[in-house]
Amino acid sequence: MKPGIPKGTRDFIPSEVYRRQYIFDIIKTLFERYGYQPIETPVMENLETLTGKYGDEGDKLLFKVLNNGDFLSKADKDALSRLDSQKLVHSIARRGLRYDLTVPFARFVTMHQHEITMPFKRYAIQPVWRADRPQKGRYQEFYQCDVDVVGTDSLICEAEYLRIIDQVFKNLGLDVVIYLNNRKILAGIAEEIGTPNRLNEMTVIIDKMDKIGEEGVHKELSKMEFSESQITRLLSLLSMDDLQTMQDSLKGSEIGQKGISEMQEVLSYLDGLYLHNEVVTKVSLARGLNYYTGCIFEVSAKDIEFGSLLGGGRYDNLTGVFGLKGVSGVGISFGVERIYDVMEMKDLFPSELAQSIKVLFVALDEASHKRAFFLAENCRMKGISCDVYPDPVKIKKQMKYADQIGVKHVVVIGSEELKSDKYTFRDMQSGDQELLGQDELVQKLLM
Amino acid sequence: MKPGIPKGTRDFIPSEVYRRQYIFDIIKTLFERYGYQPIETPVMENLETLTGKYGDEGDKLLFKVLNNGDFLSKADKDALSRLDSQKLVHSIARRGLRYDLTVPFARFVTMHQHEITMPFKRYAIQPVWRADRPQKGRYQEFYQCDVDVVGTDSLICEAEYLRIIDQVFKNLGLDVVIYLNNRKILAGIAEEIGTPNRLNEMTVIIDKMDKIGEEGVHKELSKMEFSESQITRLLSLLSMDDLQTMQDSLKGSEIGQKGISEMQEVLSYLDGLYLHNEVVTKVSLARGLNYYTGCIFEVSAKDIEFGSLLGGGRYDNLTGVFGLKGVSGVGISFGVERIYDVMEMKDLFPSELAQSIKVLFVALDEASHKRAFFLAENCRMKGISCDVYPDPVKIKKQMKYADQIGVKHVVVIGSEELKSDKYTFRDMQSGDQELLGQDELVQKLLM
């Protein structure tokens, strides 16, 4: 049998694990500095928790877990006889793999509302699953990295996220542009062009601006029977990225004015603070998700076309579907898989990430091998990572292994060293050697 | 809709995440000090990778993932019409959730044999899934924590594990007894009592010794038609925990002698090294798994009955089933869920694990709120975790929140503080207050 793994999934070898961990650690450090705390939710959720939350398309992409035992005994017989897969599912699978971290978070907040203190600031870095067609950079099993605060509608949270985003990418060494918008401005624009009830249709199309350009947006809006004058006015409004001009243009829209003043309020928190990356207001930023009700965030790499590296925004009713009303929240989600790819491409990972050993002990006979173990233990007790080649085989083989794992120093032990209690310490790069006693060796490695 | 999670799964609130992380970090630190490196494998494996590896009982406990789309179109029509769940599974589910970390590791080594250097030392700390009946301390989704080295049969590895085990439990503050045996001694005993071909049956029963006692083992062996004299001899041999006596008793068995000399060799590496916990040779230690071929490890808490906290051993042919022959390995698996429970019970977690904020800023009006954000950012840029209450509401409400999250210091900012640029720094426990300037505040918190 030739072993393989499911399409769209991956094994990670140590160097990849360390690189992923490097990204996660930088993000976690910032999150905790702002008072966010980690929670973890199960990989398997009840399907009734997941179904209907991601639209029809999302429901199709959910991975469902087959009930155990004689699952057919409780299967929907009618669906079975008609070979109706979609109808049969719910009678043979009551669990599924989580599709994102947002719905489990809403479920968590509702279930644990009496154990947590509002406002509740949490982060989560966990894998999610989607039965999307795998392609370059898109997986069926991949990590999300979310941070949210619920139970407050204060705009200080949005300001905090701008600071966090700026510092995360600064610490990763990746220059980005941070885009900011407010759904209420889009609502104001919809009012201004006389189609207040078509906000959602409109934003879905605006969202494609980066892909299909103004001309494409124009065409699609025409198809949807927006009038020529509406479209012209819309495109002219969308090209205004100056809040002052926008304020004048949306004079007639109360919600539009609210959106602008929210943006101004968020930015006012940043007065006197230096940001490494540019924050750009971009009224054409829509992010298709209908549940955003206030600020919207997006991040792109500065000098490379790579799509969005982060998205987020404010939502007014995250937990409503689970019966907990009136919980406003705001959150952002780092696209860690894509961030990894950009960092690889731009060679931004530090070269010495792997926690590799500092020294390899090479023994030439059985007695030396025992001494090597003893010396290695001496080092380890001082916190020094090291290893003993498992067998006292020919030195050539052991040195080849030292080369392969890229260790910087080797200590050679033979009968001579055993007798003198002085050990040959070799620098693998320069080839320099010196004789060191047990304590000198530890001191050398601690330097 | 009332939200819930599947039986046998858990949410972890921040305090639990930090406690679990505490255990994982202690273990990881030791692993890396001995040259082990992390790998990660996907949660979903192909069912053909998993099936048949855990016995019939294990196959039943595998969680299977339903194929996406119109899965019934390719279903086994015969199994469907006869409502044969077991037969149907493979035509509607080609993936499953991993059941342990050992089989995915064997698959990984086989697939990546040309990318890794042998001997290959790896660790993995990841969740696994089993459709066991959930009960106290047993979950359907739980973590395993495995460390293995493959590609060498040197007994220095076994000695290394004794050292790692000793230090992990020492660092966790949990006193344990480390039991050591060798499957070859059990084989020697089987030879000695004249039933060399009944080793597996014999070990399955010996394995129950702790649960059912000598009398119970006697009864079960009788039922299996071991003769009275065989049983008496067996029990007498099993009660010998002195290697020297055993060596004399197994004079006639070559494999038995080999087992004893392997044990002696392992222990000889520890000469001159101090262990915090006791290592006990225990020839009745069997650990039912048939794939162990050499040393066997087990760990129990010292002064509390809590079952096994760790298991492991040497196997000679881990990757054979995937077509890679002749790879010997040895590994141990920390029972991290159970270790967590014992540590909770014995109150062994440090009290200050949570990365909670050092100070909460409390503002009394809008202008103070902006200043609070600025001051908080000053602190954060120095690496100090802190937070601003999201709204400048009544001070009583903000102080109540400070109490609830257990923050030790609060900085109060009102119009007076704004004017003087001196801020009221309050110790929440003592109630002491002092006025501090911006830099003094940072200095105070860095102390």
Q: What is the mean pLDDT of chain B?
A: 94
Per-residue pLDDT, B241: 79
- Cβ-based neighbours of B383, under 8 Å, separated by 6 or more: A33
Which pLDDT belongs to residue B355?
66
Whether a cis peptide bond, with omega within 30° of 0, leads into A119 is yes
Alpha-helical regions (H) of B326-437? 336-345, 366-381, 395-405, 415-420
Q: How far apart are the C-alpha atoms of A362 and A424, rounded to whole Å? A: 10
* pLDDT greater than 80 at residue B258: yes
Calpha distance B329→B154 (Å, rounded):
9
Q: Give the contacts of B404 (CB within 8 A, at least 6 positions apart).
A: A117
Q: What is the DSSP letter of A153?
A: -
Measured between alpha carbons, how far is B372 from B378 in angstroms, rounded to an integer? 10
Q: Which of B205, B337, B357, B229 is nearest to B284 (CA)?
A: B205
Q: What is the pLDDT of residue A219?
A: 95
Interchain contact, A374 vs B273, CB within 8 Å: yes
Using only the alpha carbons of chain A, give its radius of gyration: 29
Structure tokens that stand for B290 in this block: 């048939």
Q: Does A400 touch chain B (CB under 8 A)?
A: no
Residue B368 has pLDDT above 90, yes or no: yes
How large is the average pLDDT for residues A150-177? 97
CB burial string A336-354: b at 16+ within 10 A, e below: bbbbbebbeeeeebeeeeb
CA–CA separation, A104 vs A109, rounded Å? 9
**How does DSSP assign A89-103, residue by residue?**
HHHH--EEE-S-SHH
Q: For residues A237 and A220, give the distance between their C-alpha atoms in angstroms, rounded to a whole number.
A: 17
Does A431 reach chain B within 8 Å, measured CB to CB? no
Per-residue pLDDT of B121-156, as tens digits, reads: 999 999 999 999 999 889 999 999 999 999 999 999
Q: Please, are residues A19 and A353 in contact by the beta-carbon 8 Å criterion?
A: yes
Confidence of residue A173 (pLDDT cuts 50, 70, 90): very high
Complex ipTM: 0.94
Among partner residues A6, A44, A377, which is closest to B273 by beta-carbon distance? Answer: A377
Look up residue A258 and give its amino acid: K
- Per-residue pLDDT, averaged over A115-122, amounts to 94
pLDDT band per the 50, 70, 90 thresholds, residue B289: low
Alpha carbon distance A173, A184 (integer Å): 33
Residue-wise pLDDT for B40-78, tens only, equals 999 999 999 999 988 888 999 999 999 999 999 999 999
Residue B207: pLDDT band (50, 70, 90) is: confident
Pick from A86, A111, A387: which is nearest to B3 by CB? Answer: A111
pLDDT at B5: 97
Task: Tell me the per-residue pLDDT of A360-373, one tens digit each, with 9 for 90 and over.
Answer: 999 999 999 999 99
Q: In this predicted structure, what is the pLDDT of residue B136?
A: 87
Span A158-174, mean pLDDT?
98
Residue B417 — pLDDT band, cuts 50, 70, 90? very high
The percentage of chain A sitting over the pLDDT mark of 90, rounded to a whole number, equals: 89
pLDDT band at A178 (very low <50, low <70, confident <90, very high): very high
**Contact, A8 vs A141, CB < 8 A?**
yes
**In chain B, whose CA is at the least distance from the CA of A69?**
B60
The stretch B288-299 carries a mean pLDDT of 87
Q: Given an 8 Å threshold on Cβ–Cβ distance, is A390 in contact with B93?
A: no
Query: pLDDT at position A273, please?
Result: 96
Flag whether pLDDT at A1 surpasses 80.
no
Alpha helices in A97-227 (DSSP H): 102-111, 156-172, 183-192, 199-206, 209-223
Is A402 touching B (CB cutoff 8 A)?
no
Structure confidence by residue, pLDDT tens digits, A221-234: 999 999 999 999 99
Is the pLDDT at B447 greater than 90? The verdict is no
Note the pLDDT of residue A411: 98
Mutate to test the interface with A, among B81, B380, B382 (most CBs of A within 10 A): B380
- Give the model's pLDDT for residue A141: 98
Separation CA B313–CA B290 (nearest Å): 11
Contacts of A383 in chain B (CB under 8 A): 33
Query: What number of helices (H) and strands (E) belong to chain A?
Result: 18, 16
Spatial contact of B157 and B27, defined as CB atoms under 8 Å apart: no
Contact pairs from chain A to chain B, CB under 8 Å: 276
What value does the mean pLDDT take over residues A135-141?
Answer: 92
Reply yes or no on whether the pLDDT at B318 is more than 70.
yes
In the chain, the amino acid numbered A251 is K
Average pLDDT along chain A? 94
pLDDT reported for residue A318:
85
CB count, 10 Å around CB of A173?
13
Q: Name the band, by pLDDT with cuts 50, 70 and 90, for residue B157.
A: very high
Reference B245, options B231, B226, B266, B263; nearest CA is B263
Question: Over the stretch A253-295, which tens digit does the pLDDT of each residue have?
Answer: 999 999 999 999 999 999 999 999 999 999 989 877 677 899 9
CA atoms within 13 A on the CB side of A71: 26
Give the mean model confidence (pLDDT) for residues A177-205. Answer: 94
- A168, A240 Cβ separation under 8 angstroms: no
Range B236-252 average pLDDT: 92
Residue from the list A156, A356, A373 with its beta carbon closest to the beta carbon of B373:
A156
Q: Is residue A355 over pLDDT 70?
A: no
- Work out the average pLDDT over A52-78: 94
Domains assigned to chain B: 14-43+99-345 (3.30.930.10), 355-446 (3.40.50.800)
Is the pLDDT assigned to residue A115 strictly greater than 70?
A: yes
- pTM of model > 0.80: yes
